[in-house]
Amino acid sequence: MLPGDEVTCTGDLGKKTFLFAICSCSGLTANNSLKTDSFDSNDPNMVPMDGGSVGVNGPYSAASMVDIGGSLWVDGKIQTFNTHEVAQQLKCSDDLTAGSASHVADDLFTEGNLFAQNMTLTIDGDLHIPPNKTNNGAKVLGATIKEQVDVKTPCDCQDLIDVPKIVGGFMQDNDNDALPIAPDELVGLPQPKSVELPCGRYFFTAIDSNSSLDITLTGRTVIAIAGDVQNAGAFHITLGPEAELDLFIAGNANFNNAATIGDPKRPAATRIYVGGSFKFASNFTLGANLYQPNAVFTANNMSEIWGALFVGGLQLASPLVVHYDQAILDLDGCDPPDQGCGDCHDCANPTPACTGDGTCGPCMVDDDCCPPLVCDAGVCKAIIPQ
C-alpha cells in the first residue's frame, strides 16, 4: 500500500503511470535515431509487436530516423527532417511539417495545417483536419474528413506523483528492523557489498558507494531513498523469479560505472520513481519503467531500454531504442472497481474508464481510455490483439 492511502498500492500506481513507451512533459528533440516497439512479458514467447507509443506535451522535432511502433501524440508542433514511421495513429494539436519521407500506417488527426511538399508524407488511413486548415502535399490513401479535431494532452504532467512524500511515508513505516538493516547501511561503502532483501519495505537515507554494490530481491519489495544515489563502482539490482521492485528516490541518481536495474525479460516488474534526475555514464541495462518528470532525460550514449520512460523532456544525442512491456497495464492492484474519479488517470484495468457518474468502470469506446490506449472488451490496451 502507498503511505497514507488505504486503497491504492504500488501496482495501481505503476499501471496508471506508464501508458506510453515514452512520455515527455515538455518537448522531444531527436538529433539521433529513435525506435520503439512493444512486447508482453506475460507471454513466454516475448514476440515483438506494435504498441510502443510516444507522447509529447510540447514541440516535437526529429532530425534523424524515427520508427515508432505505436501511436504518436503531440500537444504542439511536429517537424520531421528524416525518415519517419508511425505504425498506429498520429495526433497533433498544431501544424505538422514533414521534410522527408514519412509514413502513418493508420489515421492522422491534426488541429493545424499539414506541410508535406512533393508527397513526403503518406497516410494509409483517413486524414481528420478542421475545415479552415489545409493539406499541403500529403498523400491520403483513405478519406479526408473535414471536422473539428481535439487532440487530448497525452502525458499526465499536471498531477505529478509526490515522490519525496512517499519516501517520507516509508521512512516512518518500514520493515528495516525485521531484517534487520540500518537506514544508513548503504552510505560510505569503501568495499564491495552484497545485500539480499526479502519481501518488504525498506528505507535508506542514501546510497553512496565507492565500490561495487549488488542488491538481490527475492520477493515484492519497496526501496525508498531519502537522498541521492551515487555509485562510483558497478551497481546491480537483481530480481528473483517472484520479485517485484518499486524504487522511490527523493533526490537524484547518478551511475558512473556499469549498472543494471530490473529484468529485461519482465520490465513491468520494476518501477522507478525519481524526484530529481536519473543519469548514467555507460554500460547501463534498464529493464524497468522510469518516472522522472522534473528533469530532462538525455541519452548521450547508445541506449536500449526495456520498459518505459516518463520524463520531463527528452533529448537524443545518441540512438535510443525502447521496448515497451504491455504487461504493465495488467499489474495486480488494490483499487476498488467502483472508486471515485475525476478523469481516466484515476482509473486502471480492469475498470479503466471514468464514467459519467464519477466512478471507475469498464471502457466502452477508445475515447474512454487515457491516451494512447484503445478499448478492448472493457479494458484498455496498447493494441487490439489480432
Model pLDDT, residue 110: 98
pLDDT tens digit string along 192-221? Answer: 999 999 999 999 999 998 899 999 999 999
**Tell me: the pLDDT tens digits for 130-174?**
999 999 999 999 999 999 999 999 999 999 999 999 999 999 999
d(CA 250, CA 225): 6
Instruction: Compute the distance between CA of residue 64 and CA of residue 167 in angstroms, rounded to an integer.
Output: 39
pLDDT band, residue 42 (cuts 50/70/90) = very high
Which has the minimum average pLDDT: 137-141, 231-235, 324-328, 363-367? 231-235
Q: Is the pLDDT score of 3 beyond 90?
A: yes
| 150 lies in some domain | no
Residue 386 has pLDDT above 60, yes or no: no
Write down which residue in 261, 285, 309 finishes a domain: 285
Domain count, the chain: 2
Mean pLDDT on 246-266: 94
Let me know whether 170 and 260 are in one domain.
yes
Q: Which of 220, 230, 280 is nearest to 251 (CA)?
A: 230
* CA distance from start to end of the chain: 35
Give the model's pLDDT for residue 316. 83
Q: Is residue 195 part of a domain?
A: yes
* Residues 90 and 71 sit within 8 Å (Cβ to Cβ): yes
Are residues 301 and 317 in contact, defined by beta-carbon separation less than 8 angstroms?
A: no
Q: Which domain holds residue 383?
A: 336-386
What does the pLDDT look like over 279-288, one tens digit per residue?
887 778 899 9
For the cut 70, the answer to whether the pLDDT of residue 99 exceeds it is yes
Task: Supply the mean pLDDT for the chain.
Answer: 94
Provide the pLDDT for residue 16: 97
**pLDDT in the model for residue 119:** 85
* Single pTM value for the model: 0.96
Q: Residue 21 CB: number of other CB atoms within 10 A? A: 31
Please tell me whether residues 276 and 167 are part of one structural domain: yes
Show which of 267, 285, 303 is a domain's final residue: 285
Residues of the chain with pLDDT > 90, as a percent, come to 86
Helices (H), 152-223: 163-172
For CA atoms 314, 320, 321, 325, the dihedral sign is negative
The predicted structure's pLDDT at residue 112: 98
Decide if 247 is inside a domain. yes
Query: What is each CA distance from 65 to 35, 81, 291, in whole angstroms?
Result: 8, 8, 25
Per-residue pLDDT averaged across 327-354, rounded? 95
Same domain, residue pair 366 and 257:
no
The verdict on residue 379 lying in a domain is: yes
